[in-house]
Structure 1
Amino acid sequence: MKTQTTLPTASTYREACELLRSGYVKKVRLGWDIGSDEFFRIASDWCDAGAKIKREEGVFVISVKGFPIPRQA
């Protein structure tokens, strides 16, 4: 049986980056009304380096696994 885990939720792009760069979390829920410009910024900064963005339960979740952390913005 799959257990439900609580993901940290970021309320801004900056907060999402800080959580991911911290090294303590591998997934972050993007908990704000993300616009297309911000979405493509995240994709450019993180997915080009190997992160994945999925839509889960109506919100986007970004996950990082075993890749170098992108440069500081």
Structure 2
Amino acid sequence: MKRHEPHTTAHNYAEACNLLRSGYVKHVRLGWNVESDEFFRIASDWCDAGARIVKEDDSFVITLKGFAIPRQH
């Protein structure tokens, strides 16, 4: 059985990016009402670099695998 790692919750786009860039967390829950423009911006910035976004309950979770950190904004 696969063990789930805990999620760290971000409360806005900037906080999500900072957490993901930190290298300390692999799973970030988007803990705010993500608008479509923000969602596509996150997908463009992170999924192109190999991250995965999944819907869990009422929020999205970005999961990082072992890869280089995307460009800094």
Same topology, TM > 0.5 = yes
1:4-15 to structure 2, matched below 5 A, reads: 6-15=6-15
Cα displacement (A) at 1:48: 0.5
1:1-73 to structure 2, matched below 5 A, reads: 6-73=6-73
Provide the alpha-carbon RMSD of the alignment. 1.5
Cα displacement (A) at 1:6: 3.7
Gapped regions of structure 2 (runs ≥ 5): none
**Secondary structure at 1:49 match in 2:** coil
Distance 2:65 2:2 in 1: 20
Distance 1:27 1:53 in 2: 10
Gapped regions of structure 1 (runs ≥ 5): none
**Secondary structure at 1:32 match in 2:** coil
Which residue identity is paired with 1:24?
Y
Distance 2:33 2:27 in 1: 18
**Secondary structure at 2:48 match in 1:** helix
Q: Any conservation in 1 of the 2:28–2:62 contact (CA below 8 Å)? A: yes
Cα displacement (A) at 1:68: 0.8
| Alignment coverage as a number of residue pairs | 73
Distance 2:20 2:45 in 1: 12
Which residue identity is paired with 1:56?
E
